[in-house]
Amino acid sequence: MREVIRGSERDLLLFSGRAHPELAERIAKELGTGLVPTQARDFANGEIYVRFEQSVRGADCFVIQSHTAPINTWIMEQLIMVDALKRASANSVTVVAPFYGYSRQDKKHKGREPISARLVADLLTAAGADRIITVDLHTDQIVGFFDGPVDHLVALPILADHIAAQTDHARLTVVSPDAGRVRVADRWCDRLGAPLAIVHKKRDKDVAHQVTAHEVVGEVAGRVCVLVDDMVDTAGTICAAAEVLYQNGAADVIVAATHGILSGPAVDRLKNSRVSRFVFTDTLPTAAVDLDKVEVLSIAPVIARAIREIFENGSVTSLFES
């Protein structure tokens, strides 16, 4: 398959890091092209070496890399790829980060803390990135951390339409697992025409991953509850929220999240949870989780359409309006 899409004055080239090549291949297939052959290897001391096997001079280059575990390795690899492209006279370099690393560190909660999400944006800028494409950032304000254009895509239509096709609309209630996700849950309500409920929780600020879920605001008794979030990491928050919903009479609980990080005890928690289905997208390599209750939908068509619109000087906003 050819690795280039020809434009009137320039070419589109796709590159993949080693973090999640399956997603990059799906995006390339959606675009009807291939990935540029790339050498990537590690030296004995852990340093990363990258070289592209065809000319990139004057091309619009898109570097696809999800920031999955080991997250620091893959961020560094993407930075090196961007640097190599700029030094090879690429016309433009767009970082495609379906999952943007360090997005939870978007502000200071206490003194002497970093704002690591801004640091990642600064590193991408320093490497030479002209633009970023990402999916469902933890908070919208991260868009402002990067000085160039940021195309912030959303997985809501894919997730919501999938669940709507398999569930009785009249019984659905959209549930936010905490106050911070209410705006996102409200968009789900608009999409599905369903009421909203909120799980009030309290997190121990001094102990990571310790969550105590409390009362439910809204009617969930006898309802099919769709718990919506941007990511599921150790699954403590979402499983605790689901248990509270069942205690308040929910007939069923479905979890929908864009990013299935699934670190540490997450898989065991999913397996032992009473949640009937967990629905994620493939922004991260979640497909390796061998659980019948886990469904993975592809975000590749959305990213591919965004890449096409950018290359053709179209409107990425039109993806959301349609």
Looking only at the bridges linking them, the beta strands covering 4-6 and 150-153 are unpaired
CA–centroid distance for 183 within its chain: 17
d(CA 185, CA 201): 16
Provide the Cα torsion 301, 304, 310, 313; round to 10°. -70
From residue 5, give the alpha-carbon distance in Å to each of 142, 293, 308: 31, 39, 10
State which residues of the chain have pLDDT below 70: 1-9, 202-213, 287-288, 320-322
- Please give the pLDDT value at position 159: 98
d(CA 97, CA 89): 22
Local structure of 85: helix, strand or coil: helix
- Please give the pLDDT value at position 214: 72
d(CA 316, CA 98): 15
DSSP 37: P
d(CA 257, CA 306): 21
pTM above 0.85, yes or no: yes
How many CB atoms neighbour CB 103 within 10 A?
Answer: 22
- Please give the pLDDT value at position 200: 84
- Please give the pLDDT value at position 260: 96
Local structure of 208: helix, strand or coil: coil
d(CA 309, CA 12): 12
d(CA 266, CA 237): 10
- What is the CB-side half-sphere exposure of residue 8 using CA atoms within 13 A? 2
Cβ neighbours of residue 135 under 8 Å, at least 6 residues apart? 98, 99, 152, 153, 154, 155, 258, 259, 281, 283, 299, 302, 303
Q: Which of 108, 201, 205, 271 is catalytic?
A: 201
86 catalytically annotated: no
